[in-house]
Structure 1
Amino acid sequence: MVVQTAPRLYSIEEYLTLEESAEYRSEYRNGEIVPMTGGSINHNQIMINLIIALGLALRQQDYLVYTSDLRLWIPRYREYTYPDVLIIKDEPIFQEGRTDTVINPSLIFEILSKSTSSRDRGDKFTYYRSIPEFQEYILIDQYQFHIEQFSKTSEGNWLFKESDDEDGVLTLASANCQIPHRQIYERVKFENEPE
């Protein structure tokens, strides 16, 4: 008979203390500390492409673009996470007592991997929707041309669009910004996955 022990639960204060001296980042999920997986070369290339494109497209607007080094606190679900790319309209609002953790993203981009796609599409999207300022969610596949876009309407509903079009353009609904798909996937090499 195998006896499973419950995972140790940590307080928010314990997590933040551990995270400050950790060699790698971890998410906090309502008491559990979950190490983050490393990114692939495609993941990194897409993130770089996004940062460059968004930074240039939004430089004359009231939006700030941040990478996965900035932590996000989602109080309703007691979750700390590190979105791949997040955009904040106007100025960041920090969690009380912190200068490294924000609470007000307008747009979030996640680059999907086999190990994260279910969570990014499921729980994370549910959690992100609890943020009042959150308006748009973009999921980018790193293995093929495929972009999913969720945009919040003025009535509070979410519209879904997706595209596999290499010549398509991602038009952000909540910011005056268009990025060609080829720019997002520039220098990304798709390889056949082993069977």
Structure 2
Amino acid sequence: MVANVSYSYISPEDYLKAEESSPIKHEYRQGEVYAMAGASNGHVIISLNVASLLRNHLRGSGCQAYISDTKAHIESLNTYYYPDVIVSCDQRDKAFDNFLRYPCLIVEVLSPTTEAFDRGDKFADYRQMESLQEYVLVSQNRMNLECFRRNLEGQWVLYPYAQGNIIHLASVDFQCAIASVYEDVTFESPQLTE
């Protein structure tokens, strides 16, 4: 979510109706609408890699991976977000056309303009979803993935992954090399100073 907030209250129904025909995606948080910024090519490639890997893994399992055009609806907070990748294994989500209420896994690819929000308020909001088991943050600047997993006591535990690691997403029993997430991504090389 990035700036450009409209300060007059908009109902969730009006938001959903307007979003159907809007050329720009907007996130909705308690009556306020926020225009979303475009994504870099690296962001898009990482999102596509994650979604493709999950789609192939989930085939035939009853779980479904969705990409950035499907919203997460946090009903208790009157909020709709567009995660980069979202997975639901809950049959109740099949009743909804363009959002999910019961995801088990949400993945956000970090951008300089959204990283603080993705780590802070957005993660706090997502934690209100009782079905959510894992929240994954993926850097687009280096091979770094952080998986926050809800444990049996309901606390969120960080599982960090870096270059050379095998990622494990317990919510959907998925494993892959972190290099697969970053396939075809070119990182900017650090500038050498004299």
TM-score if structure 1 supplies the norm length? 0.89
Match in the other structure for 1:191: 188
CA shift for structure 1 position 128: 0.9
Q: State how far apart, in whole Å, the 2-side matches of 1:78 and 1:42 are.
A: 31
Match in the other structure for 1:176: 173
Kept after mapping to 2: 8 A contact 1:49/1:183 = yes
Q: State how far apart, in whole Å, the 1-side matches of 2:101 and 2:109 are.
A: 20
Q: Count matched residues.
A: 186
* Correspondence 1:154 to 2:152: yes
C-alpha change, 1:10 and 1:184, in structure 2 (3 Å) is same
Match in the other structure for 2:67: 67
CA shift for structure 1 position 56: 1.5
CA shift for structure 1 position 91: 2.4
CA shift for structure 1 position 27: 0.5
Structure 1's consecutive aligned runs of 4 or more residues displaced over 3 angstroms after TM superposition are none
- Structure 2: gaps spanning 5 or more residues: 1-5
Structure 1 segment 43-122 matched on structure 2, within 5 A: 43-93=43-93, 98-122=96-120
| Structure with the bigger percentage of helix | 2
RMSD: 1.8
Give the aligned residue type for 2:76: R
Question: Residue 14 of structure 2 aligns to a residue in which SS?
Answer: helix
Deviation per residue, 1:116-171 (Å, 9 max, x gap): 1111111111111111110001100011111111011122111112122x211110
Q: State how far apart, in whole Å, the 1-side matches of 2:35 and 2:115 are.
A: 16
Q: State how far apart, in whole Å, the 2-side matches of 1:109 and 1:131 are.
A: 14
CA shift for structure 1 position 8: 1.7
Give the aligned residue type for 1:179: C
Give the aligned residue type for 1:157: Q
Q: Percent of aligned pairs with the same residue?
A: 35
Match in the other structure for 2:22: 22
Kept after mapping to 2: 8 A contact 1:68/1:83 = yes
